[in-house]
Every structure is written in structure tokens, then in C-alpha cells.
Amino acid sequence: MAALLPRCRGCALPLAPGLERCTDCQRQPPPWSTVVARVDFAYPWDAWIRALKSTNRPGLAAALAQLWLDDPAVPALLADADVWLPIPLAPARLAERGYNQAWILMRALARRAPVPPTAAAALQRAADAPVLHHLDRRERLARVPGLFYVPASARALVRGRRVLVVDDVMTTGATLRAATRALLDAGAAAVAALVVARTPPPVE
């Protein structure tokens, strides 16, 4: 069982008890309505997530989905959504791996909670979109425009809906920012996010 820590609803970093948003997110709110992260991307959870990325192990996905549901904030977040969507992988990474861990996690969660409409491909990553994990924060944010899009065939699914995007790890928020912009541009009423882990800020 992982300890529940108060976290900012804007950036998912740990926060003093009794507050909902950190100073930075109050001053410059992100485009998503809220983001919930269950744990820090640190031992032992980072090893679990890396294992899920390298091997499609249903038991790991099930354990991480249950970890989400141990947080009282998560059922309310799920209930508020009209549509759940996984953050898509870069096409080259999907071809290499053969599966999207965000979709695997979302399916594991759906087996444990009431499910609104879901779609694996309603949010897509541009074919020439770069992989972001090796870039620093400045480079990641510079790649946000055009990273994702909603195909015309999927726009009816998100138009006017409250969309929940699901992913394994939030690092700088650049991927989530790009996904949120694409969904809002496609007519989504609001976008919220659920991730397993949040990368802690660097130690100064």
C-alpha cells in the first residue's frame, strides 16, 4: 500500500495539506481541469512501471489499477468523465513494443470501475512526432504544438464531452499539455488526467 500524499490538482506534485493548487498553478493554470497522480515515480513504483513497459504483464496492470482505486479522489474523477482515452505512444515506439501501456492500464481500471465510452485511437500522435522521454523540459515544451490530434472520425466522441486521459507517468506535463490542447481544439468540454506516477522535481 502506497501512502496517500496531498498533491496539487494542477501539476500533481506533493503539496502542503489543506491546499488544492501550488503557487505556480494558481498563477498560471494548466489547460486541464485537474490531474491526479497516485505515487511518485520512484522506488518501487518506477520499477513496476518500467516492467509494464517492457513486458505486457496483466498482473502488474491490475495491481497499478488497484493502487489508483485506493485513492478516494479517483472514483470521483472517473465518475465525472464522459469518455476515457489513453495517451497514445509514438508510432515507432508502438511498433517496437506492440502495445500501449496506457491502454493496458485503462483496461485494467475499467474492469474495476464503471466505464463510460473508451477508444484506443480517438487521440492520435502525429506520425512525425518525436519521442519526448530523452528531452529536457524546455525541449519537451517546444515540441507540444502538433504532437497529438483527434481524427475527424473521432471528433463526435469528444465534442462537448468531459474527457479523462490516462497515462502511466507525468514527467514535465508537456505530453499532457499537448493532448489537452488537441482535445479542447476538437471540441471537448474539459479534460482531466489520471496518471500512476509523477516524476518528482529535481533536488536543488
Q: Between 7 and 95, where is the model more confident?
A: 7
Report all structural domains of the chain as residue ranges with CATH numbers, in order of start: 32-198 (3.40.50)
Mean pLDDT of the region 15-30 = 94
Query: What mean pLDDT do residues 122-141 have?
Result: 64
Q: What is the mean pLDDT of residues 189-198?
A: 98
Helix/strand/coil (H/E/C) assignment for every residue in the chain: CCCCCCECCCCCCECCCCCCCCHHHHHCCCCCCEEEEEEECCCCHHHHHHHHHHCCCHHHHHHHHHHHHCCCHHHHHHHCCCEEEECCCCHHHHHHHCCCHHHHHHHHHHCCCCCCCECCCCCEECCCCCCCCCCCHHHHHHCCCCCEECCHHHHHHHCCCEEEEEEEEECCCHHHHHHHHHHHHCCCCEEEEEEEEECCCCCC
- Specify the pLDDT at position 145: 66
The pLDDT score that the predictor gives to residue 126 is 85
| pLDDT band for position 29 (cuts 50, 70, 90) | very high
